[in-house]
Amino acid sequence: MSLLDTDKIRRDFPVLQRNVTGGHPLIYLDNAASTQRPRAVIEAMDECYLQYYSNVHRGIHTLSEESTRAYEAARETTREFLNAASAREIIFAAGTTAAINTVARSWGDANVSSDDVILLLISEHHANIVPWHQLAARTGCRVEFIPIDENFEISDETVAEYLDRLQPKMFAFAAASNTLGSEYPVQRWTSMARQHGATVLIDAAQAAPHQQIDVQAWDADFVVFSGHKVCGPTGIGVLYGKEAMLDAMPAFLGGGGMILNVTTEGFTTHELPEKFEAGTPPIVEAIGLAAALKYLTAIGMENIHAHERVLGERADAGLRAIDGVRVIGPTADKKGGINSFVIEGVHAHDVSQFLDGRGVAVRAGHHCTMPLHQSLGVTATARASCYLYNTTDEVDQLLVAVADVRAKFARSGRRRRTRRPVE
Ligand code: PMP
C-alpha cells in the first residue's frame, strides 16, 4: 500500500478547502471530467499576465521575447514529460478533441480512402469516434469497433483477430478508458498494429494525468492529451506526433504563425511545430500546463499512479460489496482510479444528486461514451474518479453515501429521474 502525503498536497489546492451543499466539505471525485489546479499553476499564469505577457514569435521587444521564451520552455517541459525525441514533435492544441480532429483532418484526408478501415475500441470517448465518422463521411472509409467481453475486458487475441481481419489503416484507442477505468497495454497493441502496417493514435487524456508516459517506448505515431486533466488550464492540449509523420502531413488550420510566405497566389508553410499552430497560440495556458507537468513530475507519476490504485481498489471493493450496486468495469487490478457503477432501480442522475447533498462530486451520464453504454444496454452510469489529492477517508464517505442512496431508494421503491443526461 503506497499513499501520497495528501495533507501536504491538499494545501496546494485552495478549492479543496471549501464546503459545498449543506456545508459539507467538498469531496471532489470528478477528476476524469476535469481536475483542480494547484497554486503553482495559478501563480505561473498570474505571473505571466502580471509581469511579461505579450504575443509570441512576432515582436522584437522585451515582453514578446520573454513570453516567447516561456512558451517555448513550456514546449520543452512537455517534451520531457512525454520523453519525445524532439520539441518539434510537440504541437500545442486546444485539447484532446482538437488534437484528434487535427489528425483526422490532416493525416486522414491525405491518407485515407474508401477501401480503408479506421479501427477503434467500443469504449472510446466521442472525441475519438466522431472525427473518424466525419472522415468516413468525407472519404467513404469504414469505422469499426473492437467490443469488450463480459468482464469489460479486451484480450490481445481479440485485438489480433480484428487487426488480422480488418487490416486497418489507423488503430486509434485510449490508453485508459474514461468510463471503464481500464488501462490498456499501449506498447503491446501498438506493436501488434504496426506489424499490420497500421498508423496508431493513442488518446492519452486519461493516461497522462496518472501514469508515466514514454512516447518513444510506446512507439505510436500520435499521442494526445488535455491540460485540464493534468491539473493544468482549460483551452490547451498536446498533439505529439512522430516528426516524419507530422512533416509529411499538410497543415490543418491556415492563418498567421503557420506560414513562411504568403502571396496573392498562395502560401508556403512554416516548419514544425509552427506548421500546426495557426493563429495566436494558447500562450498563458501553455505556461500553466508546464507548471502543472512540473508539479506532477515532482510528486512522481509512479507515486501518483500507486496512490490512485489504492483508492481505486478500495472504491471498487466497497462498491461491489453494496447490495444492488454493479461496477461497470474490470477488476481493480486492471483499472486506475476510475469506478463507474449503476445502482439497481436508481437513475445515475439521482445517485449524483444524492451524493452532491453529502458534498460528494461524481459524474452521471454516458461520459461521452454512448456506443459503450449502448453495447452494455445501460443509458447512464455514475462515475467516481480519484486523483492525487483524494484520500481513503473520502472514498469511505463515498461508499457510505452510495449505500445510503441504495437504502433510501430501495425503501421508497421509487424510480426517479430528476435531471436531463448531460455531458
Ligand atoms: N478522450 C478521453 C478518454 C477523455 O476522457 C476525454 C475527456 N473526457 C476526451 C478524450 C476529450 O478531452 P477534451 O474534452 O479535453 O478535449
In CATH, what number is assigned to the domain containing residue 56?
3.40.640.10
116 in the same domain as 226: yes
Q: Is 174 in the pocket of ligand 1 (CB under 6 A)?
A: yes
Q: Among 102, 103, 125, which is best to mutate for testing ligand 1, by the most ligand atoms less than 8 A from CB?
A: 125
Domain count, the chain: 2
Q: Are residues 136 and 266 in the same domain?
A: yes
Q: Is the beta carbon of 183 within 6 A of some atom in ligand 1?
A: no
Domain boundary, last residue among 250, 274, 298: 298
What average pLDDT does this structure show over 263-276? Answer: 98
284 and 308 housed in the same domain: no
Query: Of 298, 320, 339, which residue is a domain's last?
Result: 298
pTM score, whole prediction: 0.97
Instruction: Assess if residue 57 is contained within a domain.
Output: yes
CA of 368 to the centre of ligand 1 (A): 8
**Is the residue at 336 inside a domain?**
yes
- Asked, for residue 217, whether it belongs to a domain, the answer is yes
Domain assignment of residue 271, yes or no = yes
Residue 132 sits at φ, ψ, to 5 deg, of: -80, -35
Do 332 and 246 fall into the same domain? no
Mean of the pLDDT values across residues 328-356?
A: 97
Q: How far apart are CA 373 and CA 375, in angstroms?
A: 5
In ligand 1, the atom with minimum distance to the C-alpha of 99 is 16
Task: Give yes or no: residues 291 and 197 share one domain.
Answer: yes
Residue 417 lies inside a defined structural domain of this protein: no
Q: Does any domain span residue 421?
A: no
Average pLDDT value for residue range 251-278: 97
- One domain, residues 130 and 260: yes
* pLDDT of 412 over the 90 cut: no
To the nearest whole number, what is the mean pLDDT of the chain? 96
Assign 270 to helix, strand or coil: coil
The reply to whether ipTM tops 0.85 is yes
Chain segment 280-290, per-residue pLDDT in tens: 999 999 999 99
Task: Supply the pLDDT for residue 423.
Answer: 40
pLDDT band (50, 70, 90) for residue 58:
confident
Confidence of residue 2 (pLDDT cuts 50, 70, 90): confident
Which residue among 132, 180, 226, 239 has the greatest number of ligand 1 atoms within 8 angstroms of its CB, and so is best to mutate? 226
- Residue 32 DSSP symbol: T
- Helix, strand, coil percentages (3-state) for the chain, rounded to 5, are 45, 15, 40
Domain residue limits at 266: 41-298
Q: Which pairing describes strands 338-343 and 381-385: parallel, antiparallel, or unpaired? A: antiparallel
Residue 413 confidence (pLDDT): 60
Q: In what order do the strands lie in the sheet with 363-365?
A: 325-327, 338-343, 381-385, 363-365
What pLDDT score does 422 carry? 38
In a domain, 81, yes or no: yes
CATH number of the CATH domain containing 383: 3.90.1150.10
Pair type for strands 199-203 and 222-226:
parallel
Residue 416 domain-assigned (yes or no): no
